[in-house]
Structure 1
Amino acid sequence: MSDTLPAVNSVLEAVSDALPFEKLARILWIDEHASSMTLITVAETPRRPWTVASQDIRAWLLRGEVRRSQLRLPAYMLQVEEDIPDAGKAVRERNWQRIAGLVNAQVAGGIFQPRAMGSLVAAHAKATGMQRKTLYRLLYRYWMYGQIRNALLPDYENVGAPGKARVFACGKRPGRPPRRLASAGERVGKILGDDDKSFIRIGYSLYRSNAVGTVTDAYHQTLRRFYVEEHVVRGTTTDDLTLKPLDQLPTLRQFGYWGKKAFDDLTVLRSRVGERRWQKDHRGLTGRAGDGVYGPCHRFEIDSTIADIYLVSRYNRNWVIGRPVVYVIVDVFSTLIAGIFVGLEGPSWNGARHAVFNAFTDKAAFCRMYGVEIASSAWPSHHLPQELMADRAEMLGQAAEGIVSGLNIDIAIAPPFRPDWKSIVESRFRLLNRTSQIHWIPGAVRERIAERGQRDYRLDATLDLAEFTSIMIRSVLHYNHHSRRPERLTAGMIRDELEPSPINLWRWGMDNGLATPNMQPDDLVYLHLLPRETASIQRGGICFKGMYYTCSHAMQQNWFAKSRKDGRKPITVWYDPNSTAHVWLQDEQRNFVRCDLLASEERVAEHRLEEVIDMLEMIRTPTAEHTYSALNDKIHLDAHIEATVEHARHHKEEVRPITPVPASQQIGNIKANRAFEKRIQQQRFVIAAGLEAGPTERVDTPKPASASVAEAYAGERGGEVLSLLGRLRPKGSNT
């Protein structure tokens, strides 16, 4: 330790018990000629300053019995000049004038000379008319707190005994006087005793525990329980309950005052709103969402919301398809929106995986599908994160857990009703709604309840899924490039004069080596992020959801020809719901092979999978008019069939011969009867053709050869004769 002696106003702390002072002491004066120092002990009631040799101070410091320390000044001294009220400045100036003659003596340090202080204070008190104890009190305060004038400010910090219960005179009512003077013999208000305060504490606890709605309700419950007259005769009825006189009841103001003194305001609020809402809406906020994040791609947050707008189908603008679900992925470091997905599937892993896949893929190709032409540098995020914060709805399940082991992404699940755990992505929805002006688009959900006779806003739906996605893409691009986040700037960013937009923060982190992207092969990303389903290999191609695809691998393996021979065969395919143009499958070596949509499938080309599924479902399902028409025609058809059959039955009964024809003969003459009927039918055709040709035209139709031969050799029974000859002819004979 250095042997340099401390200076004036230095504070020393006693470490040993063998010293002439305890705790703290301040050096007031150093006498170089006498090699001595004058100190004052810092205490609530300080004693007269005392002198010690400078050599002793040096020895105490060397032995470690004393160490240099700091004295915390009282609160009334910790004020800047402009904050001190004028009254306080006046008190300070008055106190300074009282002791200025003693402090600013003609001989420096003269008051600290041996046996000089008492005579100087006595003479000054006589000259100014002040009491010596007042002078000593001001001098000790001035010396003890560093010999500065602000030590003489009034100390009102403990005025009024804060935190201590007041003791009032017996029979005196505390508080302001009543607004209405009491009439003769009337007593107003009650002086509360310990029992009353205990009753109020019990009653106020009903409000704290949310058992009643308001403080007034708790007050009424307290009066009913503790301030009713005793029953002369106890019974089961409560009709004779009567409150005590007004001067024996606590007022509502007294009830609220003593209730708040019994229970802390935050304790009451926490009990009333419940732990869940307290943590979500009322707890103190410590830290920021970006704490512990090192750079871009370190942590992504994902969330979904149902957009406040109704959409229509691209196939038929009269088909309202409901409200879309928007998934957003935000990089915590830069607040850049790294991925987006707009679909029709509710919050689930199947929807969230599309947003994660979008965050990984090139955005230029994604935007091009929706008519937005950008360069890849305009939306440079195409990486997987190290961590992913999500809701339970998006990430609970075996499929979501697979990306932990398959893609090395750590998943953090936010507790229920705790959106503050992923506050960045939650706030992005408000920004996107404001940027896209979604509430002013036809078909947007109105916040207020529809009035009677008001038009249903769902009938105004105009946008389809692709058009709404295009709007969201442009809104995201506007946010990424023009939203300012100055609170995210670091010292290095400020030095580089970085404009604090999300895309600039992202690029700066990438350029300065702060990024930690999770690089994985494309095959693993397809395997774990793209949804998969079972398709079938058919002779016309690979059939998936009613659409047909083909690929070079399938053609080389002759899958479609084998399907014609062996029948259909199931196969697993991976698909992107943003486009029906491609699906993926794995070959024998588990490499992913892309399959393209057949050219003949033009009705589903350049459409999203949800739109195609909805379209196929709509065209499969007949309309109500068609269903009614089909049923009506079927009823008429059945009635016609039944009437025709009944008419034929009656006609057959009328022409039935008197002598029944044997069944063998009826069946045995089928061919002859058929030939006869055929000849009659041909003659009808000839007659009909002649009538159509007109009276001046003649149609000569030769008779069939079989009919002329039968008539020449066998007459009217020629058909039967030819049939008989055919049966008698030997098998295999050509004659």
Structure 2
Amino acid sequence: MDDSASLLNVVVEALSDQLPFEGIARVLWVDESAAVATLITIAHTPRKPWVVSTGDLRIWLQRGDARRSQFRPPAYMLQVEEDIPAGERESRDRNWQRIAGLVDRAVSGEIFMGRSMGAFVAQHAEATGTQRKTLYRLLYRYWAFGQVRNALLPNYENVGAPGKARVFAAGKRPGRPPMHKGRSGERCGKILGDDDKEFIRIGYSLYRNNEVASVTDAYHRTLRRFYVDEHVVPGSSTDDLTLKPLEQLPSLRQFRYWGKKAFDDLAVQRSRMGERRWQKDHRGLTGRASDGVYGPCHRFEIDATIADIYLVSRYNRNWVVGRPVIYVVIDVFSTMIAGIFVALEGPSWNGARHALFNAFTDKVAFCRMYGIEIESSSWPAHHLPHELMADRGEMLGHAAEGIVSGLGIDIAIAPPFRPDWKAIVESRFRLLNSTSQIHWIPGAVRQRIAERGERDYRLDAVLDLAEFTNIMISSVLHYNHHSRRPDRLTADMIREEIEPSPVNLWRWGMENGLATPNTQSSDLVYLHLLPRDTASVQRGGICFKGMFYTCSYAVEQSWFARARKDGRRSVTVWYDPNDTTHVWLQDNERNFVRCDLLASEQRVAQRRLEEVLDMLQMTGTPADESTYAALNDRIRLDAHIGAIVAQAQSDKRATQPASPVPISRQVADIRKHRAFEKTAAQQGPVVTSPVAGSHKASPPAIGPTSSSVAAAYAGERGAEVLSLLGRLRNKGNKT
């Protein structure tokens, strides 16, 4: 049985039509001596409180005719004290002073006893000079909405008639006042009707569908289509088109305003740039490429790029053979470069399978081929992945399908023009260019369009294929050992003080079998006791103290896409200092919405906030030993690259012909030199350590039936013809 105190301020909901009230009501007072309770019905316009027997009230609750319920306060009440504007606080305090004498009586609940409410209100109205209807209105709102002072705040939620069209008086100009007035009087802007708004919607759709270049062009099209005087004479020329009078035309400002109201700005942007560019450059980013990857060898990414440098032949340094193609295989979990291949063939399956073979095998022999001695532990990647992400041009076809059935590797093909599907490997190309200093080596592509009279940078090429491969291998080793990725550290890695280099992340993952947990705590937090702070809405999520969160509400409202379009903005979040797994924010209705950590941020889940902040600060700063090792190795790398380039320049000067070769001839023979270099490369690299001394490669052995000479000097087509004739002759000899 409920006692009287437990019924105070309780909200009761009627479940039977036999009760003397409908909806929900609040218990304001219980008079134990008279065994009655005073209730007030909660409605948009509260009515006078009414009295019921406490025995009847308990019977209703026990019998199921009524039940205890919850009442959500109006949105204007859901504000923290410091967020309430000063003017609204003053209005609340002023309203409270009006009714304080009626609410805070010497005898508790005295105003509800008998029929004394009317007398008390009349006496208080005369004493304070306040109208009785004002006192009743404030009292009913205070009682119905929980008997708290914030119930007396001004309710501005529906002020301004949101969503309703404005009605302008005759002759009144809509919009801002004009800056200047004409001599003949001020012109009134056109008051738009439903037809005008429909014309604007049709005209603005031209801009939305990318059929015109600008909103102004769409405005002109709309005027020409809907706001010209009709021709009196049928068949008149379009040269005679005349617009209606100026006061009958919508302005460009009105056209922009109503056009934006008719179409969502993100929908307009998405439609104008197309789905491909939207998905690649403007969609909201709420995840990372490593999401769902549980450890090393789970997923590899492979891609190829054409290097921004021209190479020369290993057999004649005056032969420019063109730009090489670099194939890179990346482990997504550790971001370690698991395999590399440098070739003269364009991006294709043939080059990609060499890179995959390099990724799947030990690197000691591969590096030794190019004059670099390493231990197997220096480049420990020699494993097969479970998944492989690649481009269509490299992996489509029967040859690539063989690794699915033969090696058990699932292949995912990225759609065309979507490099963001292979974000890890795409970003490594930029790092390799920076580490290897490609753009500062002679023969590098300086710019796309050369100035008139400027020297052709292709003539400065000095590196051959082996020397360039040597530089790339050295750069890969430097990257794998000294590129820091503190964002990839897990809590266990931090506990073991793992230096976040790709090689260390790979080794730790292989030794410990790292997995990504996907469970979240379901305990609720008492939100009003939580501290709050400011977070920023970014394209990658809601960033709070360096941690990223997301929620369904933010995704539905396109927060992250808008942040990518309009820039970051601030948002208030509530958080638990003892657990960083969740934060909370308020939606437009001030309902609390829980935000969860992104899958990539599980390293900071279920930790105290101060621990996370200390960890982020410590991992973000490299140790002195790591800094010294990176600097020391970088100095050696720079010296190594300089030695190779210097030796290559010396070799090129030593082989310069007595009489200078015309520039046009050197550039025109690139394709012939490239074909000869490709033929020589197919017979295997013939190279010694580039820094050990000058090396000269011998031309490949060419037999009487070989088409290598024809391929080098007669062109690729001539080589194919001679090769075909040779096969026919051999077939005739056999028969």
Q: TM-score over 0.5 for the alignment?
A: yes
1:216: how far off? 0.9
1:408: how far off? 0.5
Corresponding residue number in structure 2 for 1:87: 87
1:142 corresponds to 2:246: no
Corresponding residue number in structure 1 for 2:456: 456
Distance in 1 between residues matched to 2:17 and 2:683, nearest whole Å: 86
User: Which amino acid in 1 is paired with 2:254?
Assistant: Q
1:140: how far off? 3.6
Moved more, 107-116 or 413-422: 107-116
1:5: how far off? 8.8
**SS of equivalent to 2:239:** coil
The residue correspondences of 1:149-168 to structure 2 (distance < 5 A) are 149-168=149-168
1:420: how far off? 2.6
Corresponding residue number in structure 2 for 1:684: none
Distance in 2 between residues matched to 1:34 and 1:511, nearest whole Å: 77
**SS of equivalent to 2:327:** strand
CA displacement 1:470-514 (0-9 Å, x = unmatched): 333343344434444444444444555555443343333333323
User: Which amino acid in 2 is paired with 1:126?
Assistant: E
Corresponding residue number in structure 2 for 1:279: 279
1:331 corresponds to 2:422: no
- The 3 A distance-change label for structure 1 pair 6 and 17 is farther
Q: Is the 8 A contact 1:297 1:515 kept in 2?
A: no
Corresponding residue number in structure 1 for 2:342: 342
Corresponding residue number in structure 2 for 1:247: 247
CA displacement 1:539-571 (0-9 Å, x = unmatched): xxxxxxxxxxxxxxxxxxxxxxxxxxxxxxxxx
Corresponding residue number in structure 2 for 1:130: 130
1:304: how far off? 1.9
Moved more, 323-332 or 433-442: 433-442
User: Which amino acid in 2 is paired with 1:324?
Assistant: P
Distance in 2 between residues matched to 1:417 and 1:407, nearest whole Å: 28
1:372: how far off? 4.0
CA displacement 1:680-699 (0-9 Å, x = unmatched): xxxxxxxxxxxxxxxxxxxx
- The 3 A distance-change label for structure 1 pair 578 and 331 is farther
Distance in 2 between residues matched to 1:127 and 1:186, nearest whole Å: 54
Q: Is the 8 A contact 1:182 1:188 kept in 2?
A: no
Corresponding residue number in structure 2 for 1:398: 398
1:373: how far off? 4.1
1:172 corresponds to 2:208: no
User: Which amino acid in 1 is paired with 2:189?
Assistant: G
Distance in 2 between residues matched to 1:289 and 1:12, nearest whole Å: 52
User: Which amino acid in 2 is paired with 1:76?
Assistant: Y
Corresponding residue number in structure 2 for 1:580: 684
User: Which amino acid in 2 is paired with 1:75?
Assistant: A
User: Which amino acid in 2 is paired with 1:580?
Assistant: G
What is the root-mean-square deviation in Å for CA atoms of aligned residues?
A: 3.8
Distance in 2 between residues matched to 1:428 and 1:153, nearest whole Å: 57
1:274: how far off? 1.9
Distance in 1 between residues matched to 2:143 and 2:16, nearest whole Å: 24
1:406: how far off? 0.2
User: Which amino acid in 1 is paired with 2:684?
Assistant: T
Q: Is the 8 A contact 2:436 2:471 kept in 1?
A: yes
1:166: how far off? 1.3
CA displacement 1:560-603 (0-9 Å, x = unmatched): xxxxxxxxxxxxxxxxx899379xxxxxxxxxxxxxxxxxxx98
1:434 corresponds to 2:434: yes
1:386: how far off? 1.0
1:401: how far off? 0.7
The residue correspondences of 1:620-635 to structure 2 (distance < 5 A) are 621-622=712-713
**Higher RCO (Cα < 8 Å, 6 or more apart):** 2
Corresponding residue number in structure 2 for 1:586: none
Corresponding residue number in structure 2 for 1:317: 317
User: Which amino acid in 1 is paired with 2:284?
Assistant: G
Distance in 1 between residues matched to 2:433 and 2:208, nearest whole Å: 38
1:133: how far off? 3.1
Q: Is the 8 A contact 1:329 1:355 kept in 2?
A: yes
- The 3 A distance-change label for structure 1 pair 339 and 73 is farther
Q: Is the 8 A contact 1:305 1:326 kept in 2?
A: yes
**SS of equivalent to 1:338:** strand
User: Which amino acid in 2 is paired with 1:131?
Assistant: Q
1:181: how far off? 1.0
1:8: how far off? 5.1
User: Which amino acid in 2 is paired with 1:394?
Assistant: E
Q: Is the 8 A contact 2:25 2:39 kept in 1?
A: yes
1:42: how far off? 3.5
Distance in 1 between residues matched to 2:107 and 2:80, nearest whole Å: 32
Q: Is the 8 A contact 1:199 1:222 kept in 2?
A: yes
Q: Is the 8 A contact 1:3 1:61 kept in 2?
A: no
The TM-score, its normalising length taken from structure 2, stands at 0.65
**SS of equivalent to 1:239:** helix
Corresponding residue number in structure 2 for 1:78: 78
Distance in 1 between residues matched to 2:364 and 2:492, nearest whole Å: 30
Corresponding residue number in structure 2 for 1:195: 195
The residue correspondences of 1:628-707 to structure 2 (distance < 5 A) are none
CA displacement 1:639-666 (0-9 Å, x = unmatched): xxxxxxxxxxxxxxxxxxxxxxxxxxxx
Distance in 2 between residues matched to 1:213 and 1:337, nearest whole Å: 44
Q: Is the 8 A contact 2:312 2:462 kept in 1?
A: yes
Moved more, 322-331 or 284-293: 284-293
**SS of equivalent to 1:304:** strand
- The 3 A distance-change label for structure 1 pair 368 and 174 is same
User: Which amino acid in 2 is paired with 1:284?
Assistant: G
Distance in 2 between residues matched to 1:181 and 1:471, nearest whole Å: 72
User: Which amino acid in 1 is paired with 2:272?
Assistant: R
Q: Is the 8 A contact 1:306 1:326 kept in 2?
A: yes
User: Which amino acid in 1 is paired with 2:243?
Assistant: L
**SS of equivalent to 1:72:** coil
Q: Is the 8 A contact 2:40 2:46 kept in 1?
A: yes
Q: Is the 8 A contact 2:310 2:443 kept in 1?
A: yes
CA displacement 1:290-347 (0-9 Å, x = unmatched): 3332222222222222222222233333222222222222223333332222222222
1:414: how far off? 1.6
CA displacement 1:699-722 (0-9 Å, x = unmatched): xxxxxxxxxxxxxxxxxxxxxxxx
- The 3 A distance-change label for structure 1 pair 53 and 185 is closer
Corresponding residue number in structure 1 for 2:523: none
Distance in 2 between residues matched to 1:28 and 1:46, nearest whole Å: 13
**SS of equivalent to 1:621:** helix
- The 3 A distance-change label for structure 1 pair 235 and 107 is same
Q: Say which one has the larger Rg.
A: 1
Distance in 1 between residues matched to 2:371 and 2:82, nearest whole Å: 63
Corresponding residue number in structure 2 for 1:514: 514
The residue correspondences of 1:491-506 to structure 2 (distance < 5 A) are 491-496=491-496, 498-506=498-506
Distance in 1 between residues matched to 2:27 and 2:359, nearest whole Å: 68
- The 3 A distance-change label for structure 1 pair 379 and 150 is farther
Q: Is the 8 A contact 2:314 2:696 kept in 1?
A: no
1:397: how far off? 0.3
The TM-score, its normalising length taken from structure 1, stands at 0.65
Distance in 2 between residues matched to 1:75 and 1:444, nearest whole Å: 64
1:67: how far off? 5.2
- The 3 A distance-change label for structure 1 pair 100 and 330 is farther
Distance in 1 between residues matched to 2:334 and 2:36, nearest whole Å: 64
Q: How many residues align?
A: 540
Distance in 1 between residues matched to 2:33 and 2:467, nearest whole Å: 94
- The 3 A distance-change label for structure 1 pair 378 and 66 is farther
Corresponding residue number in structure 2 for 1:380: 380
Unaligned stretches of 5+ residues in structure 1: 517-576, 583-601, 610-614, 625-735
- The 3 A distance-change label for structure 1 pair 329 and 8 is farther
Q: Is the 8 A contact 2:172 2:188 kept in 1?
A: no
- The 3 A distance-change label for structure 1 pair 316 and 18 is farther
Q: Is the 8 A contact 1:5 1:57 kept in 2?
A: no
- The 3 A distance-change label for structure 1 pair 150 and 224 is same
- The 3 A distance-change label for structure 1 pair 230 and 384 is same
Corresponding residue number in structure 2 for 1:570: none
